[in-house]
Structure 1
Amino acid sequence: MCDKDTALPVISNCSAAQADAAALTSRRRRLWELSHTCHCPLVGVGLPLGYLRKLVGKMTGGRVLADDYEVHVGAVTECGARNRLSEALQKELERRYAPVILRFRGAKTKEQVAQLWRTAVANGDVSGAFWAGLTHPRCDAELEEQMCRDLHMIQHQAGACVRADMGKFTALQEENARLAQELSRLQLRGQAMLQEKTGELERQEALLLRTRAESIGKDSVIDALRAELAQLQSAIPALESRTRLVERLAQMDEREKDLRQQIIELKQVQVKPVSPVPAPAPRLEAPIGGKLKMPIRLVDQSVLCVGGRSGNVATYRALIERVGAQFAHHDGGLEDNANLLDSSLAAADLVICQTGCISHSAYWRVKDYCKRTGKRCVFIDNPSISSLARGLQEVSGELEPAAQHAIED
């Protein structure tokens, strides 16, 4: 890459006429062909100090013990002539700034080279442009001096900037140290909080596992109890029927207690001395639990029959209507709506309750209604036709003979 021909003209070492002739050629100048004033800024700006020390050590065959300034001065001195070090520096500068050299190659006049240089200065990238401009065939002594001046001022500005940057750098170092301490404190706090949250999470997980285990245990107990209940239900046939019978027995016990209480009340009433009273009116009255009595008149009266066998309803109707009364029937809640019972009771003048064929609920509703309102009610245990006729005879002893005969028939 370096030109070994020593016969080529050297601008810095030739007369002005020879230098101008060389400038008109198309060959780029070499490092040792430049003026000595260009070597110092070129080496200082174009090559890093670390690479320069390495290259000098390689050329001297040992470790460089000199300081940076001595290395720089020695390299600048060696650039004045063609030697191993100057040729190595030439190769490195050509390799390092090859793209910039290619850009400057398009310049055909001195003014174009100067324009490229000014553009590089404005952009702040002068290292490669300084080398490419100095070695360009159209760079004369005037342009070379101008470039050196510009670079000198740039270095002064760079020094001022470096000093300002050093102040900023020191402040940034202090700020960095403070932030590092704050970061360390926050990291310690974060680690402590992380450990606390980790411990809390472990406790919650343990509690969750324990709760799940308890839930599984309860589910197992429930399944076992269900299996045991199913086994007991299968072992006891007709368990539901027995349960209903037990409930019915309890209801019957309650009814028996109520009847016993009524018997006691009736006995107490019979024990009291009865004062002479005038002869009764030609209408019989039937006691309703020792309470209010009302006369019985079946002609044009409404008789409600509650309960009884469904097959005897027609006979019940014929028997009631034969004595001139109006017949109404309610089956006691077996099929008819139980809510209709109250309205039927309110419309009736006489109620016949057949206790053998009636629901428990309907029996108590009939008894309670008649007791509250004083309405005459006859209770018949046997749902037969003859029992109904005897009940009517008890409450209609004062009926006309025709009515009595109709009942007996």
Structure 2
Amino acid sequence: MEIFDQPNKPLSESFEDSAFATNSATRLPRRRKLWDIDKGYHCSIIGTCLSVATLCKLLTKAGMQFESGATDYEMHGFFVRAMSSKNPADKRLARLVNKALDKTHAKSIASYHNEITSEGLLHHWEQAISSGDIPGPYWAMLSHPVMCEPLATRVHGEVHMLSHISGAANHADIKRLRTLETESAKLRKRVKLAEYKFRQRLMGRDEKIATMGKCLAAERAAYKKLQQQAATTVPGRSQKFTRLQMSLADEQRKVRRVSAVTDRQQVELRRLRKDCDILAQQIEQRDGECQALELQLLATLDALENGTSSRTTESKINLSGSRVLYLGGRKNMYPFFKNIISRCNGEFIPHDGGVENGTRQLHGALSKADIVLCPVDCVSHGACLKAKKICSDCGKRFVPLRSSGMSSLIRGLEHATSTTITTSKPI
């Protein structure tokens, strides 16, 4: 391999002894052609820097043709031998190959063009190895005018080892590809079977749809026929049905009106029942008063006939000298009330509830009284509440009366003598 400069010197000395070491401004010689490079590198250059498809195109362009059935390896060997052949046809093919290499890897050649040292070329090559870009930099390195033998040997060795590594990887890829092809064949078979089953089910579904469509058409025809028969045979039934619907609507409106009237009557009935209950209580009260008055009247008549004093109902009541304040009521009844309370051994203290007597007199009367009777139907509301509060504070008996009549007075006295508890409900 004497084509490269100083084959036996290290990289650092290879360029120093060259013709370009004395003058850095001297113009570099032309790049090496493929036939200028030792033929030992042709195999790696053809196999690394050009694809099989490119070789086929170059072969056709050179007017050559391979026998049918030739392998890629045979084509590769033919090109390697032709690059160093003296045959004019092979030389023409070598020029086409060199031109194709320069055109295909023009970018890499341009990036290496300004390098004038082996160290610079080595630096570029290491970057190419790191990036995985091998074909272009490999041709740019071997065809560079300052390429030396040690660097060429190193670059060629690295490309050679990369081809081994690539071959091992390709072998694994081929094995994996065959496995995938086997699995793909199985999957295609399963897909075909699934497609066949799907078509069968689809055909069955289409048949069912067609059958159901026929049944539906028959049902529609029968329904239409029944409609026509109904329209021709019973034309009066629809009118009768319409009249019945109208009658039903009228009856429903009547029912709603009657229901509303019934609701109002029920409300009125509840109100009347409540009024009846109130009237019954009042009648019961009046009956009690009448009974008390009858007893009092009978006792008075008996006393007049016998010439004795009358002591019937009030004789049962003993006030034991208690002073009874009668708050409100009618003044024309005061003498009768005084007579009854006197017969019951009590003292009568009248007060009109603030009509003529003042508030001070009410306080004075309340302070003297032991029992306070207050008819709620004939008294000042304020005076009644004030008397009730004072009695509650002083612990005196306060008895509200339903009316200002004599029977209410007697019942109030009976209640006052039977208990010491002040009541809030009228007696």
So what's the TM-score if we normalise by structure 1?
0.46
User: Rg: which structure is higher?
Assistant: 2
